[in-house]
Structure 1
Amino acid sequence: MRWDNVYVAGLGAYLPKQVQTAEEAVAAGRYDAEEAQANGIRAVRVAGPDEPGPVMAAAAGRQAVDRAGLPADRYGMVLHACVGHQGQDFWTPVNYVQNEAVGGTGLTLEVRQGSNGGLAAVELAASHLAARSTPQAALVTTGDAFRMPYFDRWGTDSQQVYGDGAGAVVLSNRGGFARLRSTASYSDSSLEPIYRGTTGWTDGPFHDGKPVDLRSRKSDYLLQEEGAYDRVIQQMTKNASQVLDEALADADMKLADARFFVHANIAETIAQFSFYSLLGVDPETTVYDWGRNFGHMGAGDQLIGINHVAEARDPRPGDLLVTMGVGVGFMWTVAVLEFCETPAW
């Protein structure tokens, strides 16, 4: 989708102060030494007891709203994307984020699209703003804290280490320091069983008192038939290439034109294979080396990474940024931004 009147007006991030390194996790027996070497994630941030996902998201949202400098009554939409438990059952965390970050009476929605939630929410917000003739803004936040005993950040998933943190972006249909040039999304629900597994349904979360086991779910599915692993990899590669090509075409650019490329803080082996080898992303354009100090922050890697670019990578007018997400389900989203000016903040 090509966008003509959607802009980035503000960005924000919240990263807890407590740091836990991979080396410390290995020494404590929580993380396999060989996995640590292969995955390449150096450390994660660990949220405190008073820092569940929505609290961190609200903090990131306040920063983005303050930087945007737009009136509170202009916010016609607040979206909150998340992956894990949000601090309370049977509750709507997005309304907490709205109340704490910006207020108002705009439409609120929670987005649950795994690690692609942040970018999926950006595309939803862009659609909402583009359809409005009056000046409006939308706040998108992400926030996740991965806690034992429900979730083991070092062991629940293979080739993935989960860190705590939150990101936020304010979109506006009346201007900002960057323009959203295009977005593209693609879903492939035939891959949905990979993270559901084969063990059947449960009556509620944490039903057996053990941490979520995503490793077994994936291996059980992929070992059901010979060649399933290769087939899934080929399918995912095709889908990723398709959505990236669509977003680049709608933005009237080539991948080599991008000064920045922001992807998830995943295992180094996956980054090398999926992004640098197959898609042709130049590692020098990414923020991956920085991201290895934070791990995979649920739905927020892309928004937090874009905030890092704005704060620390000296974006200049005309610079293009491509960001890509993929979430279980499976869904891919790519967004292209063009910096119009260096953010004053």
Structure 2
Amino acid sequence: MRWENVYVAGLGAYLPREAVKADDAVAAGLYDAGEHEANGIREVRIAGEGEAPAEMAAAAGRQAVQRSGHAPEDFGLVLHACCAHQGQDFWTPASFVQREAGAGTGAAIEIRQGSNGGPAALELAASWITSRPDAPAALITTGDSFKLPYFNRWTTDDQQIYGDGAGAVVLSTRGGFAKLRSTASVGDPSLEPIYRGDDAWNDAPFYNGKPGDMRARKHAYLMQNPNGYEEAIERIGRNFGGVLHRALTDADTTLPDTQWFVHANVGQTVADWGFYGQLGLDPKQTTYEWGKDYGHMGAGDQLIGLNHLIETGRPKPGDLIVTVGAGIGFMWTVAVLEVVDVPQW
């Protein structure tokens, strides 16, 4: 989708102060040494008391709203994307974020699209504000923390470790420091069983009192599908390549003509295969080295990474930023941004 008058007016992030080094987790027997060597993530942030995911998202949202210059009445939409438990059961964290961030009285909706939650929400919000002239701004937030006993950040999944944090972006039709040139999304539900596994349906979360085990679900899928691994890799590569090409084409550019690339803080093996090997990217044009000190922050890696990139002051007017997301389900979203000004913040 080519966008003509959609801008990024504000960004924000909240990262807990407490950090745990992966080396220390290995020494404590919490994390496998071989996996640590392969994955390359150095440390993660750990949310403490008073840092529930929705509270972190609200803090990031307040920062993005303040930086945007938009008044509360300008916001017609709040989207909150997340993966993990938000701090309360039977509750609406998007409405909490809306109230705490001062983002108006429009629609407030929760997005559950795994690690693609932030990018997917970005595209949805762009569609919303362009179709509603009386609602020129939308706030998108993410917030996740991964804690025992529900989730083990070191062992629940493979090829990545999970850190806590939150991100936010304000989209506007009135202007901003970066223009949204294009977005594209594609889904492939044939891959949905990979993260569902073969367990019977559960009656409630945390039904067996054990942390989630996404490794076992993937193993169960592969046991039922002898060629499943090769087929999944082929589909993932084809879908990602296709959606990336579509977003770049709609933005009237090519990957070599872009200056910055923001992807999820996945393990080194995944990053090498998915981004640096296939696309020929230079790691210096990404936020990945920085991301190795934060790990995979659920739905928020891309928004938090964009915030970090802009705060460094490295992107200049005219630079193009590509950000990509992939979420279990599966769904991929790519956005292309053009920097038009360097914000004072």
Higher mean C-alpha deviation, range 69-78 or range 127-136? 127-136
Which whole-Å deviations, capped at 9, do the CAs of 1:252-305 have from their partners, x for residues lacking one?
A: 001011111000000000000011112333322111010000000000000000
Aligned to 1:328: 328
**What is the aligned partner in structure 1 of residue 38 from structure 2?**
38
Counterpart Cα distance in 2 of 1:281 and 1:244: 14
TM-score between both structures, scaled by the size of structure 2: 0.99
Corresponding residue number in structure 2 for 1:178: 178
Name the residue aligned to 1:240: 240
Matched pairs, number: 345
- For 1:48, the equivalent position in structure 2 comes to 48
Distance 1:164 1:302 in 2: 14
Aligned-residue offset at 1:206: 0.6
- Verify: 1:59 aligned to 2:63, yes or no: no
Partner letter of residue 226 of structure 1? P
Alignment of 1:189-338 (within 5 A): 189-338=189-338
Q: Is the 2:326–2:333 contact (alpha carbons within 8 Å) kept by the matching residues of 1?
A: yes
Q: Equivalent residue of 2:333, what SS? A: strand
The code of the aligned residue for 2:225 comes to: E
Letter in 2 for 1:161: I
Normalising by the residue count of structure 1, what TM-score does the alignment of the two structures yield? Answer: 0.99
Which range moved further: 171-180 or 221-230?
Answer: 221-230
In 2, the alpha carbon distance for the partners of 1:200 and 1:276 equals 38
One-letter amino acid of the counterpart of residue 233, structure 1: I
Identical aligned residues as a percent: 61
Contact residue 76 and residue 135 of structure 2 kept, 8 A: no
1:222, distance to aligned residue in structure 2 (A): 1.4
| Residues 302-343 of structure 1: per-residue CA shift (max 9 Å, x gap) | 000000110014211101000000000000000000000001
SS in 1 for 2:175: coil
C-alpha displacement of 1:103: 4.1
Is there any run of 5+ residues in structure 2 with no aligned partner, and where?
none
Q: Distance in 2 between matches of 1:107 and 1:273?
A: 39
Q: Partners in 1 of 2:159 and 2:222 — Cα distance?
A: 15
RMSD after superposition = 0.9
SS in 1 for 2:90: coil
For residue 114 of structure 1, what is the aligned residue in structure 2? 114
Q: Secondary structure in 1 aligned to 2:180?
A: strand
Aligned to 2:3: 3
- Cα deviation, 1:202-250, whole Å, max 9, x if unaligned, reads 1111111000000000111012232210111011000000000000000
Secondary structure of the structure 2 residue equivalent to 1:192: helix
Q: Where does structure 1 lack aligned partners over 5 or more consecutive residues?
A: none
